[in-house]
Chain A
Amino acid sequence: DAKTTQPPSMDCAEGRAANLPCNHSTISGNEYVYWYRQIHSQGPQYIIHGLKNNETNEMASLIITEDRKSSTLILPHATLRDTAVYYCIVRVRGKLIFGQGTELSVKP
């Protein structure tokens, strides 16, 4: 199964863009990349997903490299409420296989 690799932690200044990287070098052609986040002890919250093209919604943008081996989640204007663990996931045959995630701390 495709696996993801993320940095364990990152800091970001409030109001600045947060760019969270993810490597998924073994991804297959029909597997989607999903991003979820989890604020302390709550259920994971869906952010965005994509296959090949870049995607944008009201929460974030997802940039996927042309070879699909890596992606970046961009939170354009981070706020303190964006402090959370962010999971990059490759969805395999319907299953979400969570990696270790990146703990993002947004600081004033």
Chain B
Amino acid sequence: GAGVSQTPSNKVTEKGKYVELRCDPISGHTALYWYRQSLGQGPEFLIYFQGTGAADDSGLPNDRFFAVRPEGSVSTLKIQRTERGDSAVYLCASSPMGRGNEQFFGPGTRLTVL
């Protein structure tokens, strides 16, 4: 079956612009996570959805970052007034409900802010 997909694979934007990154989780996975990975670092947690609601957004760095998952499937990460420091790979992961389950990662979106 299909894995987690993310679009676009690459996004180049200018400082101050608005971007949207999309994640399509594995069908039937109720849990969805966004992570950010900078070069030479491990992924860093941003936000967690259980169904349609953002159950834990403690990892969002500031109020320029926002994410939605209106129908409990596809999620969009939105970044306003992008800054050069936002440049990173944004990873999405999904998981079946349940604490013992692994997270399946998508290929990521590489965001470059010029």
Tell me if chain B binds chain A. Answer: no
Write the residues of chain A forming the contact surface with B, with a CB cutoff of 8 angstroms: none
Q: Which B residues have a C-beta under 8 Å from some C-beta of A? A: none
